[in-house]
Amino acid sequence: MEFRNVKLSEHEQVKDLYEDFYGPNYCEVERVFYTWLHHANPCRSLSASADEFTAFGAFQEGELLSCINYVPFKMVVQDHEYKSCWSVGWRVKDDRPGLAGFLLKRQIKNFDFYMSMGATQWVKSIYTTQFKFSYQHNIPRAIMVGNAVQTEEILRMNDTLILDDFGDIVQWADETRRAAEAGQYVFITDGSALNPQYWSDHRERVKATVSKEPAVLNWRYVSHPLMQYDIISTTSDQSAGIAVLRTEQSRDQDFRVVRLLEFLPTKNNEKALSAAVARYTLDKSAAFLDFFCGNDTFIQQHMPTPFIQQQDHQPYLFPRMFQPLEWRERYSINASFRQFAGGEAPSLKMNDVYFTKGDPSQDILLNREYVTKLL
């Protein structure tokens, strides 16, 4: 048996392997998306050559039997960069149970940090029992309320909600409106023209971060083949830093939410960028905005009002998913994390790391009906 990265010429085998399970026309293995995610990634060369995808496979006589799709990235800790990866999905042929275990065991130690989001109970049990990953059931989240009436309507749909006083929601919407009055934003459409100041300030602000350097953001958000994201700043010179957002329209209900994927203000411009985000949220007529970030200290220290902190909005049980609207706890936005780097690498905990729901590739189930970019 041969264990190696999948070659570009073997894409059809990956497609067949995954579509066997997920059904035909599965977005995530379509060539355009797969090539973007597993080849165009500026960090690909950390673990794959120019003729390979970032997909680790087990082959027998040239036949792909099992595969781990992964997205390499640089974990930046102070001035050091560590070879890291997000796992984004395994498959194994039905008649080869157990093979994925060998594949994972071989692949995992090629990286200093290994992370995953959205693990099933099964994957979680493998990570935590066999590899001693730390696991967070729900990534911390900041909220911003845009429309109090709509937000209250949404929250009231949850039968398990005990609260009946929505005074906070009204107050939070007022705070958003006040911030937005002072806020302004421009769209940054040229991903190659990102002002890198946000990146140097961001590295000083956090103990560790998934790389958010301009080339990565340009790839991740501007060149995404299927989803439309907006990068905004307060002015065209981006002196206040940048935020990345998208708007999500509920398919079942008449409301929309803004999903904030990155919040990267420059030093002392947290408030100005928050005001820009508030303005954007109101302009999009969103009921509310949310932002999932693994580093709760970042949210507490660098996301001022009208962002609402986890401990304040927690009792209202804001839904995490909207397609369909979903309240059940088992639909968590979970993350798994393991450090393999020894030596001089500082010991990290998962909540030391700035990562967001925008990592590594998807912040939404990538069903075709949710594609927002015109093809």
| 368, 25 contact by CB (below 8 A) | yes
Q: Name the residue with tokens 């830093």.
A: 241
Q: CB of 105: closest distance to another protein in angstroms? A: 5
Q: Closer CB to another protein, residue 125 or residue 223?
A: 125
Q: CB of 97: closest distance to another protein in angstroms? A: 5
Query: Does residue 126 interact with another protein by CB under 8 A?
Result: yes
Q: Closer CB to another protein, residue 61 or residue 164?
A: 61
| 335, 355 contact by CB (below 8 A) | yes
Q: Where in 69-98 is the site for another protein (CB under 8 A)?
A: 92, 96-98
- Site mask, another protein, residues 36-75, x = CB under 8 A? ----------------------------------------
C-alpha 371/C-alpha 365 separation (Å) is 10
Encoded amino acid at 81, one letter: E
CA distances from 225 to 10, 228, 337 (A): 21, 8, 28
Q: Where in 94-123 is the site for another protein (CB under 8 A)?
A: 96-102, 104-106, 122
Strand partners for 117: 335
Q: Closer CB to another protein, residue 3 or residue 26?
A: 3
Q: Closer CB to another protein, residue 100 or residue 155?
A: 100
Query: Does residue 17 interact with another protein by CB under 8 A?
Result: no
For the chain, the maximum distance between any two Cα atoms, rounded to a whole number of angstroms, is 65
Q: Closer CB to another protein, residue 92 or residue 226?
A: 92
- Residue 40 phi, psi (nearest 5): -80, -10
Encoded amino acid at 237, one letter: D
Q: CB of 17: closest distance to another protein in angstroms? A: 15
Q: CB of 3: closest distance to another protein in angstroms? A: 8
Q: Closer CB to another protein, residue 24 or residue 98?
A: 98
- Residue 284 phi, psi (nearest 5): -85, 0
In which region does residue 137 sit, left (phi positive, over 0), alpha (psi from -120 to 50) or beta (all else)?
A: alpha
Count of residues that interact with another protein, criterion CB under 8 A: 19
- Residue 96 phi, psi (nearest 5): -125, 50
Please give the DSSP secondary-structure letter assigned to residue 27: G
Query: Does residue 340 interact with another protein by CB under 8 A?
Result: no
Q: CB of 159: closest distance to another protein in angstroms? A: 35
Structure tokens at 181: 């009055």
Encoded amino acid at 50, one letter: A
| Residue numbers at the binding site for another protein (CB under 8 A) | 1, 3, 92, 96-102, 104-106, 122, 125-126, 129-131
